[in-house]
Amino acid sequence: MKPRLLQHGRLLSSLEAAIAAEFDVHPLWKEADPQAFLARHGSEFSGLVTSARVGADAALIEALPALKVIASFGVGYETLDLESARRRGVVVSNTPDVLNDCVADLAFGLLIDVARGISAADRFVRRGDWERGIFPLTTRVSGKRLGILGLGRIGQTIARRSAGFEMDVRYHSRRPVPDVPWTYEASAASLAEWADFLVVACAGGAATRHLVSAEVLQSLGPDGFLINIARGSVVDERALVSALSERRIAGAALDVFENEPQVPQELLALDNVVLLPHIASGTRETRQAMADLVLANLRSYFTKGRLETPIA
Ligand code: 8YV
């Protein structure tokens, strides 16, 4: 008998097909009344497949009394109620590492874009403004100071990318990371004070909410740029909008927002802001690697009783 899985939210179509071929999967997102469905059928499912985007809250985990395993698509896990899962003895996996390169690549793409005005210059050409004048001078990237907030796997990949740009790197995280060549800064504010570019690469969730506060943005200063490829929740978005509108920081490049897909209206009119729709991991290669890892975790759990990439 195939294990019975509940699918919460849409997944990459190749992953949906692969899961359907190997498991007895039911798409909760197709149910008109998910609560009523769970009340009737919740006890049938031993596995839950979900994503970092939709997660799994305490109510969903409680509604699945036979649940043993949760496999999530994405590295972030602030939307998964790990405490409820732990209490129930449910094991949980995410998709770390396979997205480090693409997320770091995009962080650098954003950094260069906001410093050199690539998107703004593209709009300038398309508007026909080149016929009427020259594009203003921008800011050099090579040789500058790169501050990384959160030196996990993605943060370290970003730091390594910077060697090609001869940048000086420092970082701040909960505690100093052993055996890395980069200097630790004791606070987000001191890192921002030092940096020309502050890249947010830490985990989301309650522990990092609004870590990039009005004070940190003030420390970054009128020549500093903010780049966020982590979670919108890490940045106090209201404070960021004021800092940008009042030119108290030089610019921002954002792949993530506090209430996705809502983007603060004030940012749309600013030329020193780059806005992306949460696409850092969004290449075909990386999304497929993430899908493969979700499948590998489910297979490993149901055949060997252990996950490939459990969330510690
Ligand atoms: C995903 C992400 O696109 O991995 C994560 O945590 O934020 C992205 O890579 C998305 O969240 C998957 O649902």
Which member of 140, 260, 285, 306 is catalytic? 260
Mutational pocket test of ligand 1: of 98, 99, 100, the residue with most ligand atoms within 8 Å of the beta carbon: 99
* pLDDT less than 70: residues of the chain: none
Given this chain, do its domains 4-98+285-304 and 100-275 carry the same CATH topology?
Answer: yes
Domain extents in the chain: 4-98+285-304, 100-275
Say whether 131 is catalytic: no
What are the pocket residues of ligand 1 if the criterion is a CB atom closer than 6 Å to any ligand atom? Answer: 51-53, 73-76, 99, 281
Question: pLDDT value at position 19?
Answer: 98
**What are the CB-based long-range contacts (under 8 Å, 24+) for 162-167?**
162/108, 165/141, 166/142, 167/141, 167/142, 167/143
Say whether 260 is catalytic: yes
**6-26 burial code (b ≥16 CB/10 A, e <16):** bbbeebbeebbebbeeebebe
**pLDDT tens, position by position, 75-100:** 999 999 999 999 999 999 999 999 99
Question: pLDDT value at position 36?
Answer: 98
Please state which CATH number belongs to domain 100-275: 3.40.50.720
Mutational pocket test of ligand 1: of 7, 16, 51, 53, the residue with most ligand atoms within 8 Å of the beta carbon: 53
**pLDDT tens, position by position, 239-263:** 999 999 999 999 999 999 999 999 9
- How far is it, in rounded angstroms, from Cα 171 to Cα 158? 11
Residue 77: C-alpha distances to residues 14, 97, 165, 201, 311 (Å): 22, 14, 32, 14, 8
Question: pLDDT value at position 25?
Answer: 98
Say whether 278 is catalytic: yes
pTM for the full model?
0.97
Superfamily, domain 4-98+285-304: NAD(P)-binding Rossmann-like Domain (3.40.50.720)
Alpha carbon of 99 to ligand 1 centroid (Å): 9
Which of left, alpha, beta for 9 (phi over 0: left; psi -120 to 50: alpha)? left
Question: pLDDT value at position 312?
Answer: 77
Alpha carbon of 72 to ligand 1 centroid (Å): 10
DSSP output for 3-52: PEEEE-S---HHHHHHHHHHSEEEEGGG-SSHHHHHHHHGGG-SEEEEET
